[in-house]
A and B are shown apart, each in its own frame.
Chain A
Amino acid sequence: MDFGFGIAPSSAINLDRTDLEKFEKVHDMEPDIYKCMACGSCSATCPAGRFTGMSLRKVILDLQRGKEAEAISMLKGCMLCGKCSMVCPRGINTRHLILSICRTYKEE
């Protein structure tokens, strides 16, 4: 019987149970993904972020913390304009990275 309420799942990150297999696949294609230092330049310059909640910084972090669903739903807001790759201080090819993430995590 569903009473319409329940215990919300914990939002805590448990790194012991985080499966990074797919993330490591992305890393093989895009070694620079490790270089992200979460400065937020990409998110600040993203023209879609304001309307869709897209934030590449958060996508990279969520993938590393095993929050795949959140990351993938954010990526749907990306227009692939590539502005983020112009501002990344670590020189990450962010547009290419986004495509590689989509390719690896695409829904079967």
Chain B
Amino acid sequence: MPENHWPADWLRGALELCVLGALAEGPTYGYAIGQRLAGAGLGAVKGGTLYPLLTRLEGERLVESSWRAGDGGPGRKYFTLTPAGAAELARRTALWAQFVDVTRRLLPRTQEV
């Protein structure tokens, strides 16, 4: 399946979980998170979608942030998963797996895309 063709509704449902998943690999900054999601096949996530989502996660104390000086650039804001964020990621990942399992059982068998 070509990139960027996921239905918008699916992306809205999965994006927060995927961002938490990207942060599970270690502290990173907004643009790198976007690259990570695009590289995994989720498609390009615009800054206008990504940063408000990160702000919400920060408001829910699932993520924390700090500014680090850049190499000649304007500096970057690094986001880190908090212990509460890691616990929430584990909970939602398990739930997501159950959800995928349920939907797979409901859908007709298809050939690999």
Are A and B genuine complex partners? no
- A residues with a Cβ closer than 8 A to B are none
